[in-house]
Amino acid sequence: MTSIRYRKADVDGLNVFYREAGRADAPALLLLHGFPTAGHMFRELIPALSDRFRLVAPDLPGFGQSDMPARESFAYTFAALAQVIERFTEVIGLPRFSLYVFDYGAPTGFRMALRHPERIVSIISQNGNAYEEGLSEGWSPIRAYWQDASQANRAVLRSFLSPETTVWQYTHGVPDASLISPDGYTLDNHYLERPGADEVQLDLFGDYRTNVAMYPEFQAYFRKHKPPFLAVWGKSDPFFLPAGAKAFQRDMPGAEVRFFDTGHFALETHAREIAAAIGDFLGQLNSNG
């Protein structure tokens, strides 16, 4: 089994922590995590694929082991996250790669694809949305903050940062919650409890509206470039609905969509099955040239 290496890259003065495994000359897969987790969400997926691919899983700025600069010196926007990760790929030498995007990783990765479509080999979306119909009613409090960025509306969103909500995100929609290891949500809650992390996350909640505004641009990219596309979706996700997964096929008729009987954090229960789907998808892609 290929060893996983844990490194930090200096990205224009900002330290980005990342996990890496696989041969340096193997087809590359960039793994982008979501809220409120970090690259550790890929702890089971990476070993399952590292014999065939070069896997790189960075922690976004403000998440995990990457730097969390002060809000006064770094704007916590999705445009900024995408810019940092784009530079990160340049710093570590990833000229072309497939994207695995989840949750926040989706708008981050899709922004990168818009800027440099020539760098994207294929896209795998695991509960990573780009369509209005994919947003559930669970977004209502956040949408209210988009409409009125008052302190009262911002305060309401703090409930999304509670330890209980993190556990709920992991377990909701999972038929057998005993399959969910406490390791993931316990570590996520540790990171959320760091001084200043709450304000960082609230800033990103507010800025998520810019992602929704860019959905038409993401969709135009899909229609124009038609990257080989695989959606692997926890069908009981309380935030990103199955309709969002199916919508990819509207703009990319050749997109493959697969649903799994689980929730938002599908890798917690179906890492083996998702790894097999990715292996088949990328293996076929590589065999075709």
| Distance from C-alpha of 192 to C-alpha of 271, rounded to nearest angstrom | 24
At which residue do the structure tokens 């990168």 appear?
A: 112
For the chain, the residue count is 289
Angle at 97 between CA 96 and CA 101, to 5 degrees: 140
Tokens of 170: 């992991």
| Distance from C-alpha of 170 to C-alpha of 164, rounded to nearest angstrom | 10
Catalytic position from the list 33, 172, 264, 270: 264
Contact 11, 88 (CB under 8 A): yes
| Distance from C-alpha of 74 to C-alpha of 76, rounded to nearest angstrom | 6
Identify residue 285 by its one-letter amino acid code: L
> Within 10 A of 15 (CB to CB), how many other CB atoms are there?
14
Known catalytic residue: 264?
Answer: yes
Sign of the torsion formed by the C-alpha atoms of 220, 223, 228 and 233: positive
Tokens of 43: 């702890």
At residue 205, the 3 state secondary structure works out as: helix
Identify residue 37 by its one-letter amino acid code: T
By annotation, the residues acting in catalysis are 264
